[in-house]
Amino acid sequence: MRIDESATISQEIQKDRFRRAPSQRELLVLVGISFVVMWTTIFLLHGSTALVLQWGDNGAYHDVANAIRHWDFRNVQLQHFMGYPYLIAAFSLLFHVPTGFALWFLAVVCSVISVWLTARMFGTLTAGYFAFANLEWLQLSYLGGSEPVALALALGSLLAFRRNRPLLAALLGSLAVTVRPLMIFVLVGIGLVLLYRKRFREFLFALAIGVGIGILYAAPLARYFGDPLLTLHTYTTRDYGGAKVAGPHGHLFGWPFHGIIAGTLAYSAPWTSLVLSFLWIGIVLLGVGMMFSNRFRKFAKEYPQEAIYCGLYVLAIFSYDYLIWARSNFIRFCIPVLSHVFFALLPVLPKSRWVFWVLCIVSAVAAALSAIGLRNVMGHVY
C-alpha cells in the first residue's frame, strides 16, 4: 500500500471516530469537566460557595429541611413540595453533614444519575444534548435544585417499567411526585398502560403504593398545619414570588400559550431573556412536531407510558398560566421532557462528538455567568 493511500485511510478512520457517538464513560467525563469549569468560573468571579443557598429556591428548601431535621415547623413558610427537603434532612442526619451541603450534593449526584439514565434509555447522543444544552439544567445540577432529584426518580421509574418492574416503577414515580407535582404524569402513563394491558392486579398494587406514599406525605401537613394538601394549595391559590408585583397574574392553568403570550405582553424583559425563552419554546415545539415522525411513533408504540407522560407534561407547561412565570421560567419547566424532545429531534441534530466537548465547556461558563449575574461579573472585573 502506498503512503498516500495509507494516510487517506487513516484520515477516514479518524473522521469516523469524531462522528461516532460518545461512550457512556466519555459522556460522564464531559459531565465532570462541565462541573469543574462551572465551579472554577464561579470561584474566580464570585469567590464563595454561598451562591448555592442564594440561588433559586434553595433558601426555601434549606429552611424546610432544617425544620424537618429538628421536626419544628414553627415560623416555616411552605412554598414547594417537600420531597426534596425530606431527602436533604435524611441525608444530613444519616451522614452528619450540614443541610446546605446535603442540598448541593444530592442535586449533583441526581444530575449525574439523570444523565446516565438518559444515556441508557435514549443513547449518548440524546444524553449529551440533554446534559449540556440547557443552562438552567446546569445551574440546577451544580448549584442545587429539586429538578435533578425529581428527574432521577422519574427516569428511574420509566426505566423500571420498561424492564417490566411496575411496582418499583410506581414506587419511584410516587417519590418523584413528592418532589415535583407534575411528575404525576409518570404515574398516569404507567397506570393507563397497566389498565390497557389488563394487568389489573399490578395496577391495584401500584395504586396502593402511590396512595400509601401520598398518605405518608400528607399526614404531617394535616397534623401540624391542618391541611393535608397544603403544598398543593400553594400552587393553586398563591402566585408565590409574584404576590407583590403590580399587574395581571392569571391562574395556575389556562388555554395553551395564553400565559406565555399574555405574560410577555404584560411584563417587560431584556431582549436577551426573550430570545432565550422563545428559542427554547421553539425547540420544544419543533421536538413535538418531530414526535409525529414514523421513528418516534414506533418508539411511542413500544413505550406508550412515556408518550403519555411526555404529551401530558408538554400540554401542562404550555398551559401554565401564571403570567409572570409562564415564559420567563419555561427553560426550567421544560427540563423533565428534554430527554424525549432531543430524542425526537435527533435526526436533525449534529452528531459529532466534538459538539459535546465544545458545548460542555461553553455552556458551563455561560451557566456560571448567568447564575452570578452580569452586573456582578462586570463589577468584579472593573
Q: In this model, does residue 6 exceed pLDDT 80?
A: no
CA distance 255 to 350: 34
Q: In this model, does residue 365 exceed pLDDT 70?
A: yes
Q: What is the pLDDT of residue 240?
A: 56
CA distance 290 to 38: 32
Q: What is the DSSP string of 85-148?
A: HHHHHHHHHHHT--HHHHHHHHHHHHHHHHHHHHHHHH-HHHHHHHHHS-HHHHHHHHH--HHH
Average pLDDT over residues 40-51: 88
Q: What is the pLDDT of residue 12?
A: 44
Average pLDDT over residues 22-45: 95
The predicted-structure confidence for 132-161, as pLDDT tens digits, reads as follows 999 999 999 999 999 999 999 999 999 999
Q: What is the pLDDT of residue 246?
A: 64
For the ranges 11-15, 126-130, 177-181, 268-272, the lowest mean pLDDT is seen at 11-15
Of residues 52 and 48, the one with the higher pLDDT is 52
Q: Map out the domains of the chain as residue ranges.
A: 26-230+352-382, 239-349
Q: In this model, does residue 14 exceed pLDDT 80?
A: no
CA distance 250 to 230: 20
Average confidence score pLDDT of the chain: 90
Residues 6+ apart with CB under 8 A from 63: 76, 77
Q: In this model, does residue 78 exceed pLDDT 60?
A: yes
Binning pLDDT at 50, 70 and 90, where does residue 49 land? confident
> How much of the chain, in percent, has pLDDT values that exceed 70?
90
The predicted-structure confidence for 248-306, as pLDDT tens digits, reads as follows 777 889 999 999 999 999 988 899 899 999 999 999 999 999 999 999 999 999 999 99
Q: In this model, does residue 193 exceed pLDDT 80?
A: yes
For the ranges 4-13, 38-47, 342-351, the lowest mean pLDDT is seen at 4-13
Binning pLDDT at 50, 70 and 90, where does residue 176 land? very high
Binning pLDDT at 50, 70 and 90, where does residue 373 land? confident
Of residues 74 and 3, the one with the higher pLDDT is 74
Of residues 3 and 197, the one with the higher pLDDT is 197
Q: What is the pLDDT of residue 369?
A: 95
For the ranges 19-33, 199-213, 299-313, the lowest mean pLDDT is seen at 19-33
Average pLDDT over residues 2-14: 43
Average pLDDT over residues 104-133: 97
For the ranges 34-43, 68-77, 191-200, 331-340, the lowest mean pLDDT is seen at 68-77
Of residues 244 and 295, the one with the higher pLDDT is 295
Other C-beta atoms lying within 10 Å of the C-beta of residue 279: 11
For the ranges 72-76, 114-118, 140-144, 317-321, the lowest mean pLDDT is seen at 72-76
Q: What is the DSSP string of 189-200?
A: HHHHHHHHTT-H
Binning pLDDT at 50, 70 and 90, where does residue 247 land? low
Q: In this model, does residue 374 exceed pLDDT 70?
A: no
Q: What is the DSSP string of 27-75?
A: HHHHHHHHHHHHHHHHHHHT--TTHHHHSTTHHHHHHHHHHHHHT--TT
